[in-house]
Amino acid sequence: MNDRSAGRKSKIERAESGRQAAARSLRAAEKTQNPPGKRLETAFGYARNFLNNRFVYLVISPRARGLSVGINLIPERRCNFDCVYCEVNWEAPPRAPSFKIETMVAELEATLAMAYQGKLAKLPKYRAVPPELLQPRHVTLSGDGEPTLCHNLPEVVQAVAHLRALGSLPFFKIVLVSNATGLDQPAVQRALNILTAQDELWLKLDAGTPEYFRRVNRPREPLFDKVLENILITGRKRPVVIQSLFCELDGQPPPPEEIEEYVKRLRELKEAGAQIALVQIYSALRPTMHAGCRHLSLRTLSGIAVAVREKTGLRAEVF
């Protein structure tokens, strides 16, 4: 290895170390507000706090780098994936039989006001959390299932955007999290057109081949090509963030050849015109409904991120 390569590797390792330190801080804060020994509702690995709301919740998230205010668009639980890392307990009673926009808007306004006014720090769960982690980073459109399956998604996005436009609260970014399968639907397209350039789309891509996709995401029907096509079509119109969760399955990490194919898919998307602002590399952080799914080592995750950066030129971070 020459001096230039060694220097580049050292810089990458230092950056990764900084990101890992930030993630540890977030995990420590999350453990403080949610002590062990209690089964928790979670969203992408971190405990959700609904504050007695039906649809709006709080979660301290590494990928948000602090407080994310989430909206559960699918309280009745519906999804076209059955991911091995999913934490939704499908046997438990749903939080609500259906989604009510008026109720959601009232909850969202009250929750954001509480956060912006610093009132969260007065709650027992958040007293030990650093103040900078209690300021809203964004409003996330997510849910107990695939958010684009929400039957009135355009009206939901319009309602959230309207609340923001009123100006009674500080400006907040809107983030739609999706497995990308429904992005080509007319109603979803109408919803996306409401979002501004400041808002973000976080789209899932957990595999590089249809075979591994079926193993990890377990779709109801063959959807791998649709995921790639929808990411490409959407990414040509606006920048997107790629979310990629890698986990240990039945004691085995993802095969090296699968990671190679995954990196190829990212490179192909970029070369075909997809604007990929960031690739988020992370793993299952809490026990899931699938006993064979476990957290992947940080070393392995960092290796995947380095491969993405070096072979695609894309920005990739480990969370």
CATH at 31? 3.20.20.70
pTM score, whole prediction: 0.85
- Is 56 in contact with 103 (CB distance < 8 Å)? no
* Residue 89 counted as domain residue: yes
Helix (H, G, I), strand (E, B) or coil at 130: coil
* Residue 162 counted as domain residue: yes
pLDDT at position 25 is 45
Q: Which residues contact 131 (CB under 8 A, 6 or more apart)?
A: 118, 121
The residue range of the domain holding 56 is 10-318
Helix (H, G, I), strand (E, B) or coil at 154: helix
pLDDT at position 286 is 65
pLDDT at position 88 is 84
pLDDT at position 26 is 45
Q: Are strands 56-61 and 66-72 parallel, antiparallel or unpaired?
A: antiparallel
* Residue 4 counted as domain residue: no
Structure tokens at 240: 């997107």
* Residue 268 counted as domain residue: yes
* Residue 272 counted as domain residue: yes
* Residue 5 counted as domain residue: no
What domain count does the chain have?
1
Residue 140 bridge partners (DSSP): 70, 175
Rounded CA separation 129/137 (Å): 15
* Residue 35 counted as domain residue: yes
pLDDT digits 0-9 by tens, 59-68 = 998 899 999 9
Digit-by-digit pLDDT tens for the chain (319 residues) are 555 555 554 544 454 454 444 444 444 444 444 444 344 454 444 678 999 999 999 999 889 999 999 999 999 999 999 999 998 887 788 778 889 999 999 999 999 999 999 999 999 999 999 999 999 999 999 989 999 999 999 999 999 999 999 999 999 999 999 999 999 999 999 999 999 999 999 999 999 999 999 999 999 999 999 999 999 999 999 999 999 999 999 999 999 999 999 999 999 999 999 999 999 999 987 666 677 899 999 999 999 999 999 999 999 999 9
* Residue 141 counted as domain residue: yes
Rounded CA separation 288/206 (Å): 16
Rounded CA separation 287/252 (Å): 16
Structure tokens at 318: 């480990």
Rounded CA separation 298/24 (Å): 12
pLDDT at position 34 is 42
pLDDT at position 37 is 39
